[in-house]
């Protein structure tokens, strides 16, 4: 496909640390949640007028962030692209499929490089959380865009796990090809999560965009929802007031059916 990508974060890297004033020693985690040994601090209580003034100031920054996102998206639409020369073959639910087949006749394709090693008992927690948030593909199809999950694990592992998770997303195995290696999502046998975007011109396929690590957060609505709350994501890299509940990044994440049964987060193994 083209030159290999230079930087590839391994697994789920922690976010860059922010300046924080927290002492989290009074908080412990259980089953992905929070066990409090003391009451967390609270935001200050003010009048409605004072709140509206503070909210108006924050709204200015939120609008600036939206405009910046629009500018970045405009630049992304102007990126050049790389022709995919290799005829990649995948194991699909109904037989062998090509990268071109994953478009299902549409012009654009989004691929989630889903971390699921060949000998793993289950898929990655974080990748699974992303897949949980995709929703009905009809909305993407309305914009001439297809979506698929691609993993190295064999179909005999992928399909039962998909059923367990309650998804209907297209999922293929790349285990018989060099797809993962060529796109930098399997490096020295280690799996890395990523998102790739492809464009089709007739039967020619082009790679247009890719992101790793926190670049994938737009796929995980739960983070945006938590960012709206007073306590945020409750992770210790965040710049939060003193006394806010916090635990290490991603430690709380589980498969969606495992929050009451699992005490540890994992990506395979």
Report the pLDDT value the prediction gives residue 34, as an integer from 0 to 100: 47
Report the pLDDT value the prediction gives residue 1, as an integer from 0 to 100: 47
Asked if residue 170 lies in contact with residue 47, where contact means CB atoms within 8 angstroms, the answer is no
Among all chains, which residue has been given the structure tokens 């639409």? 77
Report the pLDDT value the prediction gives residue 261, as an integer from 0 to 100: 76
Report the pLDDT value the prediction gives residue 40, as an integer from 0 to 100: 87
Q: How many CA atoms lie within 13 A of 41 on its CB side?
A: 15
Contacts of 61 (CB under 8 A, 6+ apart): none
Asked if residue 200 lies in contact with residue 189, where contact means CB atoms within 8 angstroms, the answer is no
Q: Which of 11, 9, 39, 43 is nearest to 27 (CA)?
A: 39
Q: Where are the domains of the chain?
A: 79-217
Lookup: tokens for 32: 């992905």
State the fold for domain 79-217.
Glutaredoxin (3.40.30)
Phi (first) and psi of residue 134, to 5 degrees: -65, -45
Report the pLDDT value the prediction gives residue 260, as an integer from 0 to 100: 84
Asked if residue 128 lies in contact with residue 171, where contact means CB atoms within 8 angstroms, the answer is no
Report the pLDDT value the prediction gives residue 37, as an integer from 0 to 100: 54
Give one DSSP letter per residue of 162-198, joined into a string. HHHHT----EEE-TTSSHHHHTTSEETTEE--EEEEE
Report the pLDDT value the prediction gives residue 27, as an integer from 0 to 100: 33
Report the pLDDT value the prediction gives residue 6, as an integer from 0 to 100: 34
Tens of pLDDT, residue by residue, the chain (269 residues): 443 343 333 344 556 544 333 333 333 333 344 444 578 899 999 999 999 999 999 999 999 999 999 999 999 999 999 999 999 999 999 999 999 999 999 999 999 999 999 999 999 999 999 999 999 999 999 999 999 999 999 999 999 999 999 999 999 999 999 999 999 999 999 999 999 999 999 999 999 999 999 999 888 899 999 999 999 999 999 999 999 999 999 899 999 999 987 665 556 54
Tell if the pTM clears 0.95, that is, is over it: no
């Amino acid at each position: 496909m083209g030159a290999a990508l230079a930087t590839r974060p391994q697994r789920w890297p922690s976010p860059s640390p922010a300046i924080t004033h927290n002492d989290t020693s009074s908080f412990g985690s259980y089953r992905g949640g929070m066990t409090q040994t003391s009451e967390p601090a609270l935001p200050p209580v003010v009048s409605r007028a004072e709140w509206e003034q503070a909210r108006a100031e924050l709204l200015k920054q939120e609008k600036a962030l939206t405009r910046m996102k629009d500018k970045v998206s405009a630049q992304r639409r102007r990126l050049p692209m790389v022709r995919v020369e290799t005829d990649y073959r995948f194991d699909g639910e109904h037989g062998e499929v090509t990268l071109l087949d994953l478009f299902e006749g549409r012009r654009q394709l989004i691929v989630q490089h889903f971390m699921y090693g060949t000998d793993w008992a289950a898929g990655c927690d974080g990748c699974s959380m992303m897949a949980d948030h995709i929703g009905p593909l009809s909305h993407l199809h309305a914009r001439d865009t297809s979506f698929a999950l691609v993993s190295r694990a064999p179909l005999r592992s992928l399909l039962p796990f998909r059923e367990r998770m309650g998804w209907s997303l297209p999922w293929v195995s790349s285990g018989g090809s060099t797809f993962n290696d060529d796109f930098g999502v399997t490096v020295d046998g280690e799996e890395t999560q990523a998102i790739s975007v492809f464009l089709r011109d007739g039967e020619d396929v082009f790679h247009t965009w890719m992101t790793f690590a926190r670049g994938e957060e737009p796929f995980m609505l739960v983070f945006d929802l938590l960012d709206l709350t007073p306590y945020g994501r409750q992770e210790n890299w965040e710049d939060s007031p003193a006394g806010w509940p916090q635990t290490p990044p991603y430690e709380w994440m589980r498969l969606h059916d495992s929050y009451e049964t699992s005490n540890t987060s994992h990506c395979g193994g």
